[in-house]
Amino acid sequence: MSEIILHHCHQARSVRSLWLLYEMDVPFTLVMHDFGKELRSDTYLAKHPLGRVPSLEIGNKVLFETGAITEYLCEKFDSPLGRKAGDPERMEWLQWLHYAETVAVHGATLTQQHIVIYEDKDRSPMVMKLEAKRLEKALEVLDEHLKGREFLLDDFSAVDISVGYSVFIAQYFVQIGQFASLSTWMARLQNREAFAKAMMSNGRAAIYQSKFYGIPD
């Protein structure tokens, strides 16, 4: 086992940490879990008190929250994907790092409505509609920012990974083709080898079984 152990579920937010680790090309051990009950085992709850992914074991400590993991890994490995305090792009780097969660929470609510809740009678078309609209607005902001740019900052950085994962999931609920700059940026990210590696299922079930989840009539 390496000094770093990443706990991950296929297609979950832990993709961010996995993708980052692959981009940084540092040694680590990947532990994959099924999305569901396995995360509520006593063994796993000792790593993450809510039974969520990711969690990152480093020596005898465990770190959770993707934003914290991104900052920690960039600092630990002095990675050019991070922006240190004092860097002219530090403020924007932090802003997009956290904006990634603003986008992701809409995706998470929509995932709950469309996938986690099994029965139609328990779903709320109103919540689905509202959340899809709010997600679309959040994507519009990214599209505006990306006009004439290749990446969120001047070069590819860890925040493209953080936000990129959120936008990848958003595509299950909002047609991103309506946003030209965002779509080009997303395609650019999806072409990266590290992205493809981080999206491998390794035989685990996909959370998203359909290509698109629209709002029911």
Ligand X SMILES: N[C@@H](CCC(=O)N[C@@H](CS)C(=O)NCC(=O)O)C(=O)O
Q: How far apart are CA 96 and CA 92, in angstroms?
A: 6
13 versus 114: smaller Cβ distance to ligand X: 13
Does residue number 66 form part of the binding site for ligand X (CB under 6 A)?
yes
98 versus 149: smaller Cβ distance to ligand X: 98
117 versus 180: smaller Cβ distance to ligand X: 117
Does residue number 83 form part of the binding site for ligand X (CB under 6 A)?
no
Query: Residue 116 is encoded by which pair of tokens?
Result: 């986690």
64 versus 184: smaller Cβ distance to ligand X: 64
The span of 49-57, 91-99, 118-126, 131-139 binding ligand X (CB under 6 A) equals 49-57
Of 40, 25, 26, which is closest to residue 9 (Cα–Cα)?
A: 40
> Angle at which helices 158-170 and 14-24 pack, to 10 degrees?
140
Does residue number 113 form part of the binding site for ligand X (CB under 6 A)?
no
Does residue number 198 form part of the binding site for ligand X (CB under 6 A)?
no
Q: How far apart are CA 13 and CA 35, in angstroms?
A: 11
Using CB under 6 A as the criterion, what x/- string covers residues 2-31 for binding ligand X?
Answer: ----------xx------------------
Does residue number 170 form part of the binding site for ligand X (CB under 6 A)?
no
Does residue number 65 form part of the binding site for ligand X (CB under 6 A)?
yes
The amino acid at 122: D
Cβ(94)–Cβ(86) below 8 Å: no
Q: How far apart are CA 39 and CA 54, in angstroms?
A: 10
Does residue number 106 form part of the binding site for ligand X (CB under 6 A)?
no
Q: How far apart are CA 105 and CA 107, in angstroms?
A: 5
16 versus 83: smaller Cβ distance to ligand X: 16
Cβ(168)–Cβ(109) below 8 Å: no
43 versus 191: smaller Cβ distance to ligand X: 43
Which residue's beta carbon is nearest to the bound ligand X? 52
Is residue 125 reached through a cis peptide bond, with omega within 30 degrees of 0 on the bond before it? no
Cβ(152)–Cβ(94) below 8 Å: no
> Considering the complex, what minimum distance in angstroms separates the CB of residue 217 from ligand X?
28
Residues that bind ligand X (CB under 6 A): 12-13, 39, 51-54, 65-66, 101
